[in-house]
C-alpha cells in the first residue's frame, strides 16, 4: 500500500493523564523519550508505533487514528470506566467494517474498528 500509516500521536494538555489512560485501556507500553512525550509500543509485529504527550507549542493538541479491537461494546465499556465516553455506538459501515467512536478524557475523538 502506498503511503501507509506509520505513526500516530495523541497530544493534549495533561500528558501524564493521557499516557495513563491509553496504557490502561489498550495495554500499551509507553516509553518516555522527553519529559512530556512517550513513544508507544503496541507489542504486536507490524503494529503502528506512535506517541502520546503534550504538544511542544502548548496548544490544546490533536489526535487521529483507529484502533482495532475484538469487541466494540466491551472496548467502549472499558473506555467509559477509565474516564472516556462513547461518541458513536457500534455501527456497521456499508460494505465495510463495524466501527465506533469515543472521546478520551480530554475530548479527543478516536475510532475503534472491529478486528
- Tell me the average pLDDT across 69-74: 94
Q: What grid cell was written down for 45?
A: 509485529
Predicted pLDDT at 62? 80
Domain ranges (residues) in the chain: 7-114
- 3-class DSSP state for residue 3? coil
| Mean pLDDT in residue range 61-81 | 91
- Positive or negative torsion for Cα 76, 81, 82, 84: positive
Task: Give the best-scoring range by mean pLDDT among 2-6, 54-58, 106-110.
Answer: 106-110
Mean pLDDT calculated for residue range 36-64: 85
Is the pLDDT score of 3 beyond 70?
no
Cell of 76: 467502549
What is the overall mean pLDDT for the chain?
89
- Whether the per-residue pLDDT at 1 is higher than 90: the answer is no
CATH architecture of 7-114: Roll (3.10)
Residue 52 pLDDT: 95
Show the cell assigned to 9: 500521536
pTM of the complete model: 0.74
Q: How confident is the model at residue 95 (pLDDT cuts 50, 70, 90)?
A: confident
Amino acid at each position: 500500500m502506498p503511503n501507509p500509516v506509520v505513526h500516530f500521536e495523541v497530544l493534549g494538555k495533561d500528558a501524564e493523564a493521557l499516557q495513563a489512560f491509553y496504557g490502561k485501556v489498550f495495554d500499551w507500553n509507553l516509553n518516555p523519550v522527553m519529559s512530556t512525550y512517550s513513544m508507544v509500543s503496541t507489542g504486536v509485529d507490524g503494529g503502528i508505533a506512535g506517541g502520546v504527550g503534550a504538544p511542544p507549542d502548548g496548544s490544546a493538541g490533536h489526535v487521529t487514528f483507529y484502533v482495532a479491537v475484538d469487541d466494540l461494546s466491551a472496548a467502549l465499556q472499558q473506555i467509559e470506566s477509565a474516564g472516556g465516553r462513547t461518541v458513536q455506538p457500534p455501527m456497521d459501515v456499508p460494505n465495510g467494517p463495524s466501527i465506533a467512536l469515543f472521546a478520551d478524557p480530554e475530548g479527543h475523538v478516536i475510532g475503534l474498528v472491529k478486528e
